[in-house]
Amino acid sequence: MRDFPSCFGENGVQVADASSSSSGASMATSATTTKISQNLVSCVYQCRLRNFSCFIITFTWTKNLMGQNLCVQIDDSTNQSLCKLEIKPWLFSKRRGFKNFEVGSILIDIYWDLSSAKFGSSPEPTEGFYFAIVVNQDLILVLGDMEKEVHKKIDSSKFTPNVVFVSKREHICGKKVYSTRSQFCGKGQIHDVLIECDLMGTNDPFLLIHIDGKIMMQVKHLRWKFRGNYTILVDGLPVEVYWDVHNWLYGKLTGEAIFLFQTCFSAEKLWANDSIPVPSSWSNSFRRDPHSQGLGFSLVLCAWKNE
């Protein structure tokens, strides 16, 4: 991260602490788009068994004209893919089901019910679903708000899942306002995140970042501060914010900007770790190393401008 250009002074950035904010924000609805690549949410979880074996589970939700799709991939601690499950909207029998895999000595059982799932503007469901993964008879991950239904199918009383939400990557669309919802640590509070940037009709554009309706950061003179980073406080924890809006200003009007929110326990630990390189010019192929330890949670937003 040392190579990321810091092309601004402190006078151009204003920050605040979100822990004192209780008011909600009115989130703008993301505009629809014909590009499948723009309708994507990818969530990465690190799960550990009682024998300390580690698994990385990636949920990728996408949306197209046919509806929502889901791809679940399970990797071991060496990044070796163990299995992959795809649920597509035209296979209605797969909206509720069970699938098992046997990979060497590893037995994987996957349970899901998406038949009553409710969706907003995002490909990721908001409620009315569950997804559960069992490895060698240990329940390692449960997602969704129907946990009681999971316990009816699985005897999970003997083991509590040891799960770390590692990262979330999302494509969001808009003209001036871009919004999403996310946690910034463990099982912490879900926050409304809103990015506001008006490039039209002004000679001096600026960037605003809101958390739960409160302005957390303002970047002035954006034309020469199109890349940078600063630290804000969310839930009492430092969150390093990186932005790159070069394509908005000097590329195609419909191009993407990249925003990274990296929760860290200390700035020194964040900058000292070399397992998460941030190049001087970002691309939407950025992905955090899910095996890195002690760096908290990463939220990567690819913000696409609509005409």
pLDDT of residue 121: 79
Pick from 212-216, 219-223, 276-280 the range whose average pLDDT is largest: 212-216
Judge whether residue 34 has pLDDT over 50.
no
Cβ contact 219:205 at 8 Å: no
pLDDT of residue 169: 93
Judge whether residue 207 has pLDDT over 80.
yes
Cβ contact 234:193 at 8 Å: no
- How does the average pLDDT of the chain come out, rounded? 76
Find the mean pLDDT for residues 48-74: 88
Judge whether residue 55 has pLDDT over 90.
yes
Give dist(CA 60, CA 71) in Å, integer: 5
Residue type, 122: S
Find the mean pLDDT for residues 271-290: 38
Find the mean pLDDT for residues 130-142: 91
Judge whether residue 277 has pLDDT over 90.
no
Judge whether residue 265 has pLDDT over 60.
no
The kind and range of the H/E element at 198 are none
Task: Map 53-121 to HEC letters.
Answer: CEEEEEEEEEEECCEEEEEEEEEECCCCEEEEEEECCCCHHHHEEEEEEEECCEEEEEEEECCCCEECC
Find the mean pLDDT for residues 156-172: 82
